[in-house]
A and B are shown apart, each in its own frame.
Chain A
Amino acid sequence: MITNNKANSKNTTTTPSEESFVKFVDVHKSFGDFTVFDGLNLNILKGKINFVVGRSGSGKSVMLKHILGFLQPDRGDIFIENKNTKLFNTKDWQKTRKKVGMLFQDSALFDSMSVFENVAFPIREHTKKSEKEIKELVSQKLSLVGLDKHHKKLPAELSGGMRKRVALSRAIALNPDLVLFDEPSSGLDPIVSSVVDKLILDIHSNLKSTFLIISHDMKGTLKIAHRVSMLYDGKLVFNGTSQELTNTTNPLVKQFVHGRLDGPFNIFY
């Protein structure tokens, strides 16, 4: 284990003072015969904006589901705030989940509830705020993503990008310590996409929370990431700053960043 970490830290600028919020140590996970993680080591640094990139189907969403306890590794350990999740009981998971805000890839809005009620849901469940306070808070969160005028609509009446933004407001409604965003800017137009990038920076500077963002948008990633990790073939193949990502000589990573067809990737996997 120790040697593994050393090997990782060689090509990164990780210093001992950089604490990790979530840590994957030699995680293996298969679905039937299909291997998703084959010895994944990954550090999500506390208080940083961490990006994870990788091909479609490389296990990024599966990784987030491990962090919330919806999937368990076959082998290996996941540490959240230095506690091994293997030892977690239901209560521990509840405690952890209260600190985490998750944006699901397909939004996962409650389709029987209005936009307002969707964002109010975590607030109602976990705080004793008055109706007036809830209203203010929800309005504030929705105006952050430019949806203040759509309180009463049902998710089915929104566009995909609007749904994503509502889901984003819901994920940050309780100012979580750890924010998990599964492709926050996919399906958004370039302008709203930049709004989301700016929003992430704003929330981060206000709350100092830890962000773990999965993204296919390399431009946004390079702009706001403190740290980028890349998954390939069930393992971590790159981990470094945006600067290091731009300057990388790793042909695999280079091909991914520039979206080239020629390179080591098997494009028809």
Chain B
Amino acid sequence: MGKSNKLSDYIIIGPIINGLAWLGDITKVTLLSLFYIFLPPYRPKIFLAQLYFIGNGSLSVILLTGSFTGMVLALQMFEVLKRFSSESMVGAVVALSLTRELGPVLSALMVNARAGSSMAAEIGTMKVTEQIMAIESMAVNSYQYLISPRIFAGILMMPALNIISNVVGVLGGYFITVSLLGLDPGLYFNKIDDFMEVRDLVNSSLKAAIFGLILTVVGSYQGFNTSGGAKGVGKATTSAVVISAVLILAFDYLLTSFMIQS
């Protein structure tokens, strides 16, 4: 240890340098893989399989988290708003919180846990069994073959899942406030109509698309950089989920601050 003169071996500086190197490399891989989406050869079959994997596979999880989130939001907000005698606003509050924040963030975290992790495990296994080398040995670009269809599918499918999550969330809130708490049914949707703008939906979809990019890129990238057998695959999977989750929350803050200002 003492003999090494590499900066990355020192405490504090080391992790920072390694982190920056990671960031630089994953940015490069992301840009390349985005670029390769538009270059031939196109592989629609692989892309559709990924769309199906992310979309269909995550649907049940999204329906569950979306509806429970909407329900619990409605329950909490109804109680709070009642103190100000403005419980009629509950529909608007639920809808806005869901589309602006909870919908994209929670669905991205759920899809990350499901699809991001399994991408890391699948690609990681391909790495350690030399399947990626085999792809390259047949003069096929492995980024284009493995990463591009995944991120493209993630960018397109996340907004769709997000919309579904928001819709069932709003419906869940409706069920709680109208059926259980006795709010006038017309009021719930009227207030949503009054307060929600097209911009909220656009921004929500934009967030979801960016989260879709993050979780697919990080899952694929950690898979690509797997080394050391089954243990390495496990490590890649865990790190992919954790890193994506942190990045999703950090980007959520960044994006929100831009969106609120403009």
Bound-complex Cα distance A106 to B229 (A): 14
Cβ B130 vs Cβ A94 within 8 A: no
Distance in Å: Cβ of B220 to nearest Cβ of chain A: 15
Q: Which of A70, A100, A112 contacts B133 (CB 8 A)?
A: A70
Indicate with 1 or 0, residue by residue over B181-196, a CB within 8 angstroms of chain A CB atoms: 0000000000000000
Across-interface contacts of B133 in A (CB, < 8 A): 65, 70, 104, 108
Bound-complex Cα distance A125 to B140 (A): 7
Q: Which of A102, A111, A112, A126 contacts B137 (CB 8 A)?
A: A102
Distance in Å: Cβ of B240 to nearest Cβ of chain A: 19
Bound-complex Cα distance A102 to B139 (A): 11
Cβ A104 vs Cβ B130 within 8 A: yes
Indicate with 1 or 0, residue by residue over A93-121, a CB within 8 angstroms of chain B CB atoms: 01101101010101011111000000001
Bound-complex Cα distance A103 to B133 (A): 11
Q: Which of A97, A102, A110, A125 contacts B131 (CB 8 A)?
A: A110
CB of B134 within 8 Å of the partner chain: yes
Across-interface contacts of A201 in B (CB, < 8 A): none
Band of interface residues on B: 10 to 19
Cβ A125 vs Cβ B137 within 8 A: no
Cβ B41 vs Cβ A97 within 8 A: no
B133 (CB) vs chain A CBs: closest residue: A70
Cβ A106 vs Cβ B139 within 8 A: no
Across-interface contacts of A68 in B (CB, < 8 A): 136-137
Q: Which of B41, B122, B130, B140 contacts A108 (CB 8 A)?
A: B130
CB of B18 within 8 Å of the partner chain: no
Distance in Å: Cβ of A215 to nearest Cβ of chain B: 19
Across-interface contacts of B136 in A (CB, < 8 A): 68, 70, 97
Bound-complex Cα distance A95 to B133 (A): 16
Q: Which of B41, B134, B137, B139 contacts A110 (CB 8 A)?
A: B134
List A110-145 residues whose CB lies under 8 Å from chain B.
110-112, 121-122, 125-126
Q: Which of B126, B129, B138 contacts A97 (CB 8 A)?
A: B138
Q: Which of B122, B129, B137, B138 contacts A106 (CB 8 A)?
A: B129
Bound-complex Cα distance A104 to B133 (A): 9
Distance in Å: Cβ of A150 to nearest Cβ of chain B: 19
Cβ B139 vs Cβ A104 within 8 A: no
Bound-complex Cα distance A121 to B129 (A): 17
| Interface positions of A (Cβ within 8 A of B) | 65, 68, 70, 94-95, 97-98, 100, 102, 104, 106, 108-112, 121-122, 125-126
Q: What would 19 A/B residue contacts be, using CB atoms closer than 8 Å?
A: A70-B133, A70-B136, A94-B139, A97-B136, A97-B138, A97-B139, A102-B137, A104-B133, A104-B137, A108-B130, A108-B131, A108-B133, A109-B131, A109-B134, A110-B131, A111-B125, A111-B131, A126-B138, A126-B139
| Interface positions of B (Cβ within 8 A of A) | 41, 122, 125-126, 129-131, 133-134, 136-140
